[in-house]
């Protein structure tokens, strides 16, 4: 059975709610992928890394999750789902400066074309609401380097038309105003 067939089996098992069988199929698929197909063009490979990382998080295996996340980010450093999951790992490990930078990078990656190609899960309204309502405020409030990061984000706002970056910058200003009171 090819890695594509094992991947499709994993997707079917997921739809049926059989996570353990899905994990087994994903592990078989990952073992079958030739090195020359571990590229950013291989959306299935990157999706498998995301799925395995999510399973690792569910099992409280953050160190295993970050291995898959980092493997994917080495290949495609602007993969929205992998960046979102990395931010969650950094949150679990209270690495707030890195988390904030990762979230800003995540916001820069969101695009409709990329979302369709890679079947992103964490770019919709629900994920963005979590980012702006909880993740950015938490990381910004606890970041040691928040002022430096905010200065960089301000420069991004000045040179780009990215509404998500502007929203993040506005949120940082709101938090700073509350700190000043």
Alpha carbon distances (Å) from 89 to 32, 70, 83, 155:
27, 11, 10, 27
pLDDT tens by residue, 61-86 = 999 999 999 999 999 999 999 999 99
Between CA 144 and CA 123 the distance in angstroms is 27
pTM of the model: 0.93
Whether residue 14 is contained in a domain is answered as no
Whether residue 67 is contained in a domain is answered as yes
Burial group, residue 50, by CB count within 10 angstroms (0-12, 13-18, 19+): buried
Whether residue 23 is contained in a domain is answered as no
Contact 122, 51 (CB under 8 A): no
Dihedral (C-alpha) 159, 165, 167, 172: value to the nearest 10 degrees? -100
Total domain count, the chain? 1
Whether residue 121 is contained in a domain is answered as yes
pLDDT tens by residue, 2-42 = 888 999 899 999 999 999 999 999 999 999 999 999 999 99
Nearest CA to 23 among 66, 54, 67? 54
pLDDT tens by residue, 43-52 = 999 999 999 9
Nearest CA to 143 among 101, 83, 88, 92? 101
- 105: domain CATH number is 1.25.40
**Domain coverage including residue 100:** 33-180
Whether residue 119 is contained in a domain is answered as yes
Whether residue 11 is contained in a domain is answered as no
Whether residue 98 is contained in a domain is answered as yes
Whether residue 26 is contained in a domain is answered as no
Largest Cα–Cα distance in the chain?
63
């Amino acid at each position: 059975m090819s890695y594509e067939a094992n991947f499709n089996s994993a997707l079917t098992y997921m739809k049926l709610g059989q996570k353990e069988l899905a994990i087994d199929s994903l592990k078989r698929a990952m073992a079958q992928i030739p090195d020359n197909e571990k590229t950013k063009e291989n959306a299935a490979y990157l999706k498998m890394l995301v799925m395995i990382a999510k399973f690792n998080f569910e099992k409280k295996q953050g160190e295993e999750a970050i291995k898959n996340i980092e493997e994917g980010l080495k290949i495609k450093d602007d993969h929205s789902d992998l960046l979102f999951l990395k931010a969650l790992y950094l949150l679990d490990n209270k690495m707030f400066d890195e988390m904030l930078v990762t979230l800003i990078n995540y916001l820069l990656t969101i695009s409709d074309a990329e979302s369709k190609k890679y079947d992103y899960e964490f770019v919709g309204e629900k994920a963005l609401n979590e980012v702006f309502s909880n993740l950015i405020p938490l990381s910004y409030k606890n970041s040691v380097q928040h002022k430096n990061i905010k200065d960089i984000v301000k420069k991004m706002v000045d040179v780009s038309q990215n509404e998500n970056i502007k929203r993040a910058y506005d949120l940082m200003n709101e938090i700073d105003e509350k700190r000043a009171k």
